[in-house]
A and B are shown apart, each in its own frame.
Chain A
């Protein structure tokens, strides 16, 4: 359906119901900016400002109280209000323009990808960030990149050599073990249960009525198990390329072991792969996944991908008992502020955030990239994950998180 605001130029509507039409347009304008508003809000908004109308400032405050619902909206509202009610035509044009830009970026990813590569890799075209030998010689790289390229030879001894079937099977087994270590937590609530520690007086008394008030059959309450929900983000950008295959196996292990788990691949955008990973045919699953992952070996836009997750999946995917696991080296080409902001949003929905960084296992590695530095305050547990041993060492740690 065409948005109502497009009809606002229609003179008939403006003449017949000037305020109602403009208000509908305003609500539409807010909706475009991702406010969750329905017709009920339009009605209420009209009622509120018409009763009695006492100036634009007062109307703005009233609408702000009525139409916002979260801190970001609260902060943004005044600008949107001003844009719509006081400089309608001009602002609308620029807002439309912005929208188009967004669509274009989404529609033609390869182009954006090229942009990113030309910005970050002066030579070597679509080479992955760390792996390409050519890049190592380029001087004047960003500091984080230089540290990484210095370690090229050390990386060779890392996980990426474990590509044989045995090692991958090992990774999957390990994932199973870690998964079962942290699978359940006890709830603080009590629920009716056959074997429990606490007497359920409500039900015991109800039942005792049948026996003349003699509580013969006792009812018990126990604390139910509440499975932890696991959400995994696997960075499959160029710099992670050689770890990806191993990690994919690890993620598959985790997701298959878990009843409530969700897996996402992250590169320049976000792909939900839970269903693919759950495929019983391991080889088939891995091939499909590898295809999806290989398709985009470019940079990482972790901040942007998490933003997509936060607005699209987070509500369904996360709850108060969720653990978020990010497998990434933190070489992010997006703005660090955005990453920090999105991690903060993520943390509001999920109590635990674990970041496994394959580079952390290197002796001299310091998480110095801007992105990593910005992310660190939000991470509950930050650990190396570059060898099987380092992954195995996670088991007790993660069980405690």
Chain B
């Protein structure tokens, strides 16, 4: 438990408020040197975990944003073809044999490192964030398995490159696509939910320093109740923080005040037209009543 407390306090110092489950997951991932898969709705702070972890470990954060059609060339490595062509052209006059040219153009001088290759080449273990893995194709997921289990990458021209240091890998998924069992089995797992009211209050207080405690408390309650409404897109923690900052900027010290102004600031929380329309004045005042 002391270990978990420790990492929790460290994260707290880096302005990330983690619950027990998440700090245990991070601690285990570090101890066992295994990748950690974080799943949960958009906006619960999965990506932030990686940033906070990099900050407390004082190491680099290398991020690979996944998208449909992401392939090895964009994620692992690619040769710098233009540079290779120029070199071949330039060496024409130097009377080199083809094999000499070949030997030279397939060296690290001409290699473009993409995030995964970068990550295994660092002196100090970096945090490797593979963001939104559910957006990548299944083929890429399969490719990733090899890298995640052995931490080595094979470049045909150079041979196998083994990791200088094993990175701390964090994968995130919004659950839009089912991931393969093979990938899940290689990872530790944690489901990140929206924070509890108390935790969200703590987050607001740590991230919006000028805020009054009373207002922060009201905000956390309001957002908690708002998430219980039928919304197309639930407001995430980042949205809560935006809203808190907006209210502080407008010099509003309590949600009991001017309903009109507060209603107009809800655009910070509600991100679709339907949601904006569904939270009418009546609904907003009901929610404010609950929050007060």
- Quick check: which of A64-72, A160-168, A296-304 contacts chain B, the rest being far away? A64-72
What is the CA–CA distance of A64 and B190 in the complex, to the nearest angstrom? 8
Q: Check if B98 sits within 8 Å of A69, measured CB to CB.
A: no
Interface size (A, Cβ < 8 Å)? 39
**A212 interface residue per 8 A CB criterion:** yes
A interface footprint on B151-193 (CB within 8 Å = 1, 0 otherwise)? 0000000000000000000000001111001001101111100
User: A44-B32, A320-B138 in contact; A61/B21 too (CB < 8 A)?
Assistant: yes
Of all chain A residues, which has the CB nearest B79?
Answer: A202
Task: Judge whether B89 and A213 touch: CB under 8 Å.
Answer: yes
Bound: A333/B217 CA distance, A:
46
Contact of B189 among A65, A188, A202 (CB under 8 A): A65
Cβ-neighbour of B20 out of A61, A189, A202 (below 8 A):
A61
Hey, which chain B residues are within 8 Å of A202, CB to CB? 78-79, 81
Q: Is A319 an interface residue (CB 8 A)?
A: yes
Interface size on B, residues (CB 8 A): 42
Q: A205: which B residues are within 8 A, CB to CB? A: 79, 81, 84-85, 88, 105
Partner of B191, one of A74, A187, A213, A319: A74
Chain A residue contacts of B189, Cβ below 8 A: 65, 68-70, 73-74
Q: Which of A41-65 contact B (CB under 8 A)?
A: 44, 48, 54-55, 57-58, 61-62, 64-65
Q: A134 to B107, alpha carbons, bound, how many Å? A: 83
B190 touches which one: A57, A65, A212, A215 (CB < 8 A)? Answer: A65
- Nearest residue (CB) in A for B136 is A320
Interface pair A189/B21, CB less than 8 Å apart: no
Q: Which residues of A contact B21 (CB under 8 A)?
A: 61, 64-65
Tell me whether B101 and A75 are in contact (CB under 8 A): no
Contact yes or no, A69 B181, CB < 8 A: yes
Within 8 A of B (CB), among A307-359: 314-315, 319-320, 345, 348-349
B102 within 8 A of A: yes
Q: Which residues of A contact B92 (CB under 8 A)?
A: 212-213
Q: How far is the CA of A189 from the CA of B74 in the complex (A)?
A: 11
A 61-99 contacts with B by CB, 8 A: 61-62, 64-66, 68-71, 73-75
Provide the residues of chain B in CB contact with A210, threshold 8 Å.
98
CA separation between A283 and B109, bound complex, in Å?
A: 67
Contact B24 A62 (CB under 8 A): yes
- Nearest A residue to B73, CB-CB: A202
Q: Which of B2, B102, B185, B188 contacts A36 (CB 8 A)?
A: B185
Within 8 A of A (CB), among B20-78: 20-21, 24-25, 28, 32, 36-37, 39, 68-69, 71, 78
User: A197 in the interface, Cβ–Cβ < 8 Å?
Assistant: no
Let me know if B198 is at the binding interface, CB within 8 A.
no
Q: Does B122 contact A (CB under 8 A)?
A: no
Shortest beta-carbon distance, B12 to chain A, in Å?
Answer: 18
In the complex, whether A14 has a CB less than 8 A from a CB of chain B is: no
A contact residues around B32 at 8 Å (CB): 44, 48
Question: CA separation between A349 and B177, bound complex, in Å?
Answer: 6
Assess whether B184 is in contact with A319, with CB atoms less than 8 Å apart: no
Q: Does B15 contact A (CB under 8 A)?
A: no
**New A-B pairs, 18, CB < 8 Å, besides A44-B32, A188-B68:** A61-B20, A65-B190, A69-B184, A69-B187, A70-B189, A71-B191, A74-B191, A189-B69, A201-B81, A202-B81, A205-B79, A205-B84, A208-B88, A209-B88, A213-B89, A213-B91, A319-B138, A348-B178
Residues of A within 8 A of B (CB): 36, 44, 48, 54-55, 57-58, 61-62, 64-66, 68-71, 73-75, 187-189, 201-202, 204-205, 208-210, 212-213, 215, 314-315, 319-320, 345, 348-349
Residues of B within 8 A of A (CB): 1-2, 4, 20-21, 24-25, 28, 32, 36-37, 39, 68-69, 71, 78-79, 81, 84-85, 88-89, 91-92, 98, 101-102, 105, 137-138, 175-178, 181, 184-185, 187-191
